[in-house]
């Protein structure tokens, strides 16, 4: 008999499970509270849930967390986890502690189908989408490892994969993460990064409670973006920016444009001036990220002076432009460096 996986079920689904096993709906609410609010995945210790219900769940359902296959610790405090899922597929997730905030970077797919030229994840190809439960499981694993229960944290869907190609699972996980009866995280501290999947952006625009939107731009012209990001052929820059202009932002909300600066590719003042024109009339801020070099890829990081010169053009044009420090590059945990392969550790 196939067992039902409980992790990833929302409140309504867990109440349905309770009723299907002859229990009252409130038993499903108790289970929901245990799984997400208390981060308790052991049926035996759910003492406010009836013994009969727990016995039936143990017979007919599963509660699965990914196995931690490798942990790498950066000199800056970043910790990268290689997690193995139930079918043997692997993803990486990252814990990023800072003095003023703690951030978790979660994956939404195994691999990535976008094949951006500068990204190690895309170079490894696409395997499959993650379920809502597998997305939530990354949060629960890291939270339990670092004692984050009841702490205010940030989450970014910026790990492996394109979130808007798996939008329904991502939004379901987001709803549970931000439900006050669930994981109780602030929706204002959760950001989704996309290369610009138009159908997914339309789905987000129709969603009342949604993550903040970040768009991975990385180019100052359609031709330049096409060389770096094959998605430009299917999702042209002009149409993407038109969608951004129409996106229904809340009061005080801005779209974040992420721009990875690559030496002698897209990092010159002329690129910055084109970017100023591209983003006209969009309520936004710009995060500038020095390229994180990846083994086997030909691109290089720009110099510090080049980054500052690029930023100055944007700031003088009236844009909020921030230089984002990369975290964990020494363990290949920074933007664009995640893969499904265990790192080679000297001496092992």
Token look-up 């996980």 returns 173
Select which of 15, 23, 92, 244 is catalytic.
Answer: 92
Q: Are 69 and 90 in contact (CB under 8 A)?
A: yes
Of 112, 114, 216, 210, the C-alpha closest to 168 is 210
How distant is the alpha carbon of residue 304 from its chain centre? 27
Task: Check whether 344 has a pLDDT greater than 70.
Answer: no
Task: Check whether 341 has a pLDDT greater than 80.
Answer: no
Question: Looking at residue 1, what is its pLDDT?
Answer: 54
Q: How far is CA 75 from CA 5, 144, 198, 285, 333, in A?
A: 37, 22, 38, 29, 12
Q: Looking at the domain covering 67-331, what would its CATH class be?
A: alpha beta
Q: Is 281 a catalytic residue?
A: no
Select which of 112, 116, 231, 335 is catalytic.
Answer: 335
Contacts of 184 (CB under 8 A, 6+ apart): 37, 150, 178
What is the radius of gyration, based on Cα positions, of the chain?
21
List the single range of 240-244, 277-281, 333-337 with lowest mean pLDDT: 333-337
Question: Looking at residue 342, what is its pLDDT?
Answer: 67
Task: Check whether 340 has a pLDDT greater than 80.
Answer: no
Question: Looking at residue 99, what is its pLDDT?
Answer: 87
Query: Which part of the chain has CATH 1.10.150.530?
Result: 4-62
List the single range of 113-127, 138-152, 295-309 with lowest mean pLDDT: 113-127
Q: Is the dihedral angle over the CA atoms 32, 34, 36, 41 positive or is it negative?
A: negative
Q: Write out pLDDT tens, residues 68-116.
A: 999 999 999 999 999 999 999 999 999 999 988 999 999 999 999 999 9
Question: Looking at residue 294, what is its pLDDT?
Answer: 87
Task: Check whether 346 has a pLDDT greater than 70.
Answer: no
pTM of the model: 0.94
Q: Write out pLDDT tens, residues 178-194.
A: 999 999 999 999 999 99
Query: Which part of the chain has CATH 3.20.20.70?
Result: 67-331
Task: Check whether 343 has a pLDDT greater than 70.
Answer: no
Q: Is 119 a catalytic residue?
A: no
Under the banding of pLDDT at 50, 70 and 90, the label for residue 348 is: very low
Q: Domain 4-62: which topology?
A: DNA polymerase; domain 1 (1.10.150)
Q: Which residue did the predictor score with more confidence, 35 or 345?
A: 35
């Amino acid at each position: 008999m196939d067992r039902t996986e409980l992790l990833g079920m929302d409140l309504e689904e867990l109440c349905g499970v309770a009723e299907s096993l002859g229990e009252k709906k409130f038993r499903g609410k108790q289970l929901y509270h245990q799984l997400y609010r208390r981060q308790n995945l052991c049926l035996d210790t759910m003492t406010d849930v009836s013994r009969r219900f727990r016995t039936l769940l143990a017979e007919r359902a599963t509660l699965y967390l990914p196995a931690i296959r490798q942990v790498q610790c950066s000199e800056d405090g970043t910790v990268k986890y290689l997690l193995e899922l139930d079918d043997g597929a692997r993803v990486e997730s990252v814990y990023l502690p800072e003095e003023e905030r703690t951030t978790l970077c979660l994956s939404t797919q195994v691999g990535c189908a976008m094949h951006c030229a500068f990204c190690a994840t895309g170079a490894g190809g696409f395997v499959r989408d993650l379920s809502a439960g597998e997305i939530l499981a990354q949060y629960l694993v890291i939270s339990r490892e670092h004692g984050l229960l009841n702490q205010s944290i940030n989450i970014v869907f910026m790990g492996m994969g394109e979130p808007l190609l798996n939008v329904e699972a991502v939004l379901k996980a987001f709803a549970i993460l931000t439900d006050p009866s669930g994981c109780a995280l602030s929706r204002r501290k959760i950001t989704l990064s996309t290369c610009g999947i138009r159908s997914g952006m339309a789905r987000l625009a129709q969603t009342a409670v949604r993550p903040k939107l970040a768009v991975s731009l990385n180019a100052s012209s359609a031709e330049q973006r096409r060389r770096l990001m094959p998605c430009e052929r299917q999702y042209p820059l002009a149409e993407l920016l038109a969608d951004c202009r129409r996106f229904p932002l809340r009061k005080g909300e801005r779209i974040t444009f992420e721009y990875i600066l690559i030496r002698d590719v897209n990092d010159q003042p002329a690129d910055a001036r084109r970017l100023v024109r591209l983003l006209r009339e969009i309520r936004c801020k710009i995060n500038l990220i020095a390229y994180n070099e990846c083994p086997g890829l030909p691109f290089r990081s720009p110099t510090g002076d080049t980054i500052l010169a690029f930023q100055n053009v944007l700031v003088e044009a009236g844009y909020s432009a921030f230089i984002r420090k990369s975290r964990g590059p020494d363990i290949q945990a920074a933007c664009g460096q995640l893969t499904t392969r265990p790192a080679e550790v000297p001496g092992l």
